Structure 1
Amino acid sequence: MDDMKFPNVKEVFGTVSKEYAEFRPRYPSQLFSFLSSLTPHHHLAWDVGTGNGQAAVELSKYYARVVGTDTSEGQIQHAERRPNISYAVTPPSITDQQLDSIFGPESSVDLVTAATAVHYFDLDKFYGQVKRVLKKPGGVIAVWAYWKPRVDPAVDAVYERFFSRTYPLFHPAAKVVLEEYESLPFPFTAVEGIKLEIEEQRNFDQYLGYLGTGSGLVGREDILEEFRADFEAAWGAEVHVTKTVKFPVFLKVGRFEKKGKFC
């Protein structure tokens, strides 16, 4: 498939970094308390593809130091700051020397996370980096994403039509998200996860704001406008009234069990 007709992920998320920080849902706090319970030490966490830094901020409550990296300078500029978080704009492929300059010696990271991001990575390179930096034994990697907001039957019916119209515009990497990471290669010893769901109260503009941050919609705002009237009719006359919006979360967690090897 010719990727040239699909959006450049780095450029897209840099373009909508402000809107991304404002409209993307927040991950549930129990996710981070669960992940922190899996690592025997809490010295250093690495949040890869950190975006607006929301996962890094939650991790900073449990780990002494958090590093958030992203290829998008725009995203890093809008990332939330905390005293124990450091952010870095990195190239898509980080060299071993760059890893060492950021994290110090090999096997120094307790937890690596990728929140709604890993499907865009070169997995062979990324997993090789994880192998280098994670503590052995005891290091943990966790990747997760969410999909398809659910509101009520009327709004969801319009969303399904909207999704059918826009899905072909998204990068092919989105396919693994639609499959809830079931087809995502993950060469680690699996750790049983927890069932999670994001639940937020949103008004109509906030709901549409989220839809507009999809990578396939940037530069194609006219498509969202095509559906605005239908969404508004489904939402109801008082669009300022909030509704409960639910996003199912799917999670993969793994760890090293033997020094220097995937298990």
Structure 2
Amino acid sequence: MEENKVPNVKEVYGTVAKTYAQFRPRYPPHLFSFLSSLTPRHHLAWDVGTGTGQAAIELSKYYTRVVGTDTSEGQIQHAEQHPNISYAVTAQSVTDQQLHSIVGPESSVDLVTVATAVHWFDLDKFYAQVKHVLKKPGGVIAVWAYWKPIVDPAVDAVFERFLSRFYPFSHPAWKLLLEDYESLPFPFAQVEGIKMEIEEQRTFDEYMGYFRTRHALVGREEILKEFSAEVEAAWGAPLHVTKAVKFPLCFKIGKV
């Protein structure tokens, strides 16, 4: 990979789909019970940028039908299966007619979710399609994301030092993540006051596995090697011993 080239996001996530499914953190179950409490009906949920189906599989516990879409065929091939989930690979320029055939017609969707992906989207077009398919009244859109793992002061200090090494290879859209979606355009009546985080027990290898799924670091073996060596020195315990790793979530939740 060229040293100064920002990778194509769709291609990157297709090539690391198996690693993505293994090492990306799992969203807390209470997130989905909360989202389901916001919609008066529970017929249809659309999970956009579904990846390997982490959100879709949880939504299937609350909604009669879930549709998960993604532009990456590699991600969809590794998606978790469930009888009431249907997955589809869509073009970035999916038309309204195609959307109707894959997801549903106008005013048919109870909940639209985007888990750690909306920053990649053509927002104007996406939001127009969301307003078209969400039920009126009562339809809800929820977008959320994580990016920063928190372990302890020693490990976190290594991560902070290496952020400047990661950033030059990041897609410009990653800036929205660094700002915790504060600057993300969101033309919906917002539901305020949502605070949640992911917490998992991870070994050193599992912590580093997460970074092998970050688009800016795929193929950057020298940076990963240096980062890994410094994290190992800071881990402060046998590498097979787990530590609590927290991923704060940032949210935008709204209604039409």
Q: Give your verdict on TM over 0.5.
A: yes
Deviation at 1:148, TM superposition (A): 1.1
Alignment of 1:179-190 (within 5 A): 179-190=179-190
Match of 2:20 in 1: 20
- Measured against aligned partners, the alpha-carbon deviations of 1:183-229 in whole angstroms (never above 9, x if no partner) come to 00000001124210110000000000001111001111221002222
TM (norm. structure 2) is 0.96
1:69 and 2:69 correspond: yes
Mapping 1:1-263, distance limit 5 Å: 5-256=5-256
Counterpart residue identity of residue 242, structure 2: T
Q: Is the 8 A contact 1:193 1:253 kept in 2?
A: no
Deviation string for 1:84-125 (max 9, x for gaps)?
000000000210110111133211000000000000000001
d(CA) in 2 for partners of 1:161 and 1:19? 25
**Per-residue deviation, residues 52-86 of structure 1 (Å, max 9, x unmatched):** 10000010000000000000000000010011000
The amino acid that maps onto 1:14 is G
CA distance in 2, matches of 1:34, 1:237: 36
User: Which residue identity does 2:250 align to in structure 1?
Assistant: F
Distance 2:17 2:68 in 1: 15
Whether the aligned pair in 2 keeps the contact of 1:47 and 1:66 (CA below 8 Å) is yes
SS at match of 2:61: coil
**8 A contact 1:203–1:240 mirrored in 2:** yes
Question: Following the alignment from structure 2 to structure 1, what is the Cα–Cα distance between the partners of residues 61 and 188?
Answer: 26
Q: Which moved more, 1:4-13 or 1:148-157?
A: 4-13
Q: Deviations over 1:111-153 (max 9, x none)?
A: 0000000000000010011011100111000000012101011
Distance 1:179 1:215 in 2: 18
Structure 1 gap segments, 5+ residues each: 257-263
Say if 1:193 and 1:252, in contact at 8 Å, map to a contact too.
no
The one-character-per-residue Cα deviations of 1:18-71 (angstroms, maximum 9, x if unpaired) are 000000001111111111001010000000000010000010000000000000
Q: Secondary structure at the match of 2:216?
A: coil
Q: 2 CA distance for matches of 1:234 and 1:167?
A: 22
Preserved contact between residue 212 and residue 221 of structure 1 (Cα < 8 Å): no
* TM-score under structure 1 length normalisation: 0.94
Long gaps (5+) in structure 2: none
Deviation, 1:237, is 4.8
Distance 1:137 1:229 in 2: 53
Identity %: 77
2 CA distance for matches of 1:38 and 1:193?
14
Specify the code of the residue in structure 2 equivalent to 1:200.
E
- Equivalents in 2 of 1:229, 1:191: separation in Å? 42
Write the deviation string for residues 167-192 of structure 1: whole angstroms up to 9, x where unpaired. 12110100011101010000000112
* Structure 1 stretches of at least 4 aligned residues deviating more than 4 Å after TM superposition: none
Q: SS of the counterpart of 2:150? A: coil
Structure 1 vs Structure 2 CA RMSD: 1.1
Q: Secondary structure at the match of 1:223?
A: helix
Cα pair distance change 1:141/1:237, threshold 3 Å: closer
